[in-house]
Every structure is written in structure tokens, then in C-alpha cells.
Structure 1
């Protein structure tokens, strides 16, 4: 996996969706009280992220100016 600085917790402004990008190329996304609502793997190319969910669906995201735009979501790095 390419080195990148995106590992860590990303959250929506309201805190409802929390996506953790793990250093081993896996992610774990919680929605509200539902922990691990979505899990899978991800790869990073530059500022672009390709996601492959464990159920088989795919998604993409881009980090611009420290903000993660993941499909229709806007996530901010948790301090």
C-alpha cells in the first residue's frame, strides 16, 4: 500500500457517521449507534480512495484540503 496520511478517524459534522481508516488497508464505518455498519478494504492513489466493502459493493472518495469527500458524504478528520 502506498504511504499516505489518511489513516485515522473521519466523521461527519453531526457525528452520525464515523469512518476509521486503519493502517492495514481496512476500514470500519459506524452509523449512529450501529458499530461496524460497513467494513471492508481501501486503497489510496494520491488523494483518491477506492473502497471495497466486504459485501462486494464499491465506493470512492477524495481528500481535498483536509476534507474527505466520500460519495455523498463530507467527513472531517477527528482531532
Structure 2
């Protein structure tokens, strides 16, 4: 299973396109949940079906898309085509110059 997941990740990253995840497919990792900047302005909700919703200020659904966690690294593919990445280090998410904490 790990080899298959590694191959899927490599293929997605090589093409810079999001992985197609079945709507009810649940991929297990320890980072599912809400991640928030210290001031609460940016909120990432990592859903168990490898979708995310990012809120910014009063915009509750500012960005939405897919994500994939590989080890402690996360790749995002926004539904509009924007891509981003981050890393989980000691229980903190570092993403796009932001620091997010589990809430």
C-alpha cells in the first residue's frame, strides 16, 4: 500500500496536477482537523477525505481543494488551480510563510 501511495504522489507531483481521490475515500494521517494562525485570521480545515477548506478573516470558504500528506509534508491543489505546500514540524504546520497550530 505504501509503495502504491508513493507512486501516486510521485505521479501527481511530476504532473503538477491534483490526485483524483474517490469522494468517499479516507486516507489516514495524524493531521486531520483544524489548523489556525495565532491571530485566528487563517484557518485550514483538513478533512479526512483529503479535501481542505481555508477560511481567511470573515471569508469562511476563501479557498477549497485537495491535499495530500506524505510523511510530514503536505501538498495542496486549490480548485482554482493554485498549488502550495507545507511541512508539519513538532506539531506545527508551516505553510506559505504562515505558522498554523492545531485547534
TM tier, smaller:
over 0.9
2:46 to 4, 12, 21: 21
Higher relative contact order (CA 8 A, sep 6+): 1
Q: Distance in 1 between matches of 2:92 and 2:37?
A: 10
Query: Which structure has the larger Rg?
Result: 2
- In structure 2, the residue matched to 1:38 is 63
Structure 1 residue 71: deviation in Å? 1.4
- Aligned-pair Cα RMSD in Å: 1.0
Which has the larger share of strand?
Answer: 1
TM-score, length-scaled by structure 1: 0.95
Structure 1 runs (4+) greater than 6 angstroms displaced: none
Which has the larger share of helix?
Answer: 2
Aligned residues: 78
